[in-house]
């Protein structure tokens, strides 16, 4: 419950609003790989991540995926509370990328709090603006960058998240993050290996030349 008090605008909420939030919030855990939110019907609520790592992504009709953003400790996910906002006309899936713990505030409770509290509504605006910015960044990557630039950037992001250059990740999983086919990833990783940027082994991609990948991602 102490963690809940680290909710960013806790101090700006009225005592009764804090109490309502604290009473409504439910702590949940999800093991690595678990699906947390999937269908548009399943309006889970606002998520406030205490530990671990969540991944928000979209799915095509054919089952292709692209990662929209990641949620780390202290991050808030609004899109899992889409029924709290009439104008959110899209749906995302959310899975646990690591063993994770998070608080869920039911959509209806959050919506009610927001309707009365200008600070909470303004803070919610900021969260939405931040996610919107993530998606615009992704849009620019997808539109203007080549696949090798995007793959280089993805590997560096993974290394930063994992704290190591030896990434335990399959080519298929990379394809699901980037919205592309496994074969495309494999072909490009082999090219990266021939250029001395990475070393491939079963189930891992090891970054050998961080500076080289950095230069490629920014070219």
Structure tokens at 5: 């008090």
Q: Which is nearer to a second copy, 43 or 128 (CB)?
A: 128
Name the minimum Å distance from CB 201 to a second copy: 30
H/E stretch holding 170 reads none
Q: Which is nearer to a second copy, 30 or 105 (CB)?
A: 105
Burial of 9 (0-12, 13-18, 19+ CB in 10 A): middle
Name the minimum Å distance from CB 10 to a second copy: 18
Contact 178, 142 (CB under 8 A): no
Q: Which is nearer to a second copy, 23 or 60 (CB)?
A: 60
Q: Which is nearer to a second copy, 33 or 74 (CB)?
A: 74
Name the minimum Å distance from CB 168 to a second copy: 26
Instruction: Provide CB contacts within 8 A for 126, sequence distance 6+.
Output: none
Please tell me the distance from the alpha carbon of residue 75 to that of residue 8, in angstroms, as a whole number. Answer: 10
Q: Which residues bind a second copy (CB under 8 A)?
A: 58, 60-62, 64, 66, 85-90, 114-118, 121-122, 124-133, 135-140, 142-144, 179
Name the minimum Å distance from CB 135 to a second copy: 6
Residue closest to 120 by CA, chosen among 47, 4, 12 = 12
């Amino acid at each position: 419950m102490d963690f809940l008090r680290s909710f960013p605008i806790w101090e700006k909420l009225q005592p009764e609003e804090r109490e309502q939030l604290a009473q409504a919030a439910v702590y949940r855990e999800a093991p690595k790989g678990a699906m947390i939110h999937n269908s548009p019907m399943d309006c889970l609520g606002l998520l406030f991540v205490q530990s671990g790592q969540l991944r928000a992504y979209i799915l095509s009709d054919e089952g292709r995926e692209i990662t929209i953003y990641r949620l780390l400790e202290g991050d808030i996910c609004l899109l899992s509370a889409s029924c709290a906002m009439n104008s959110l006309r899209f749906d995302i899936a959310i899975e646990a990328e690591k063993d994770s713990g998070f608080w869920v505030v039911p959509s209806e409770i959050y919506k009610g709090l927001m309707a009365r509290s200008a600070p909470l509504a303004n803070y919610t605006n900021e969260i939405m603006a931040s996610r919107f910015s993530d998606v615009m960044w992704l849009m620019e990557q997808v539109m203007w960058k080549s696949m090798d630039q995007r793959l280089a950037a993805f590997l560096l992001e993974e290394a930063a998240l994992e704290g190591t250059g030896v990434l335990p990740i399959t080519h298929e999983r990379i394809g699901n993050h980037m919205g592309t086919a496994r074969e495309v990833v494999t072909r490009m990783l082999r090219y990266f290996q021939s250029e001395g940027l990475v070393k491939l082994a079963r189930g891992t991609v090891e970054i050998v030349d961080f500076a080289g990948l950095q230069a490629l991602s920014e070219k």
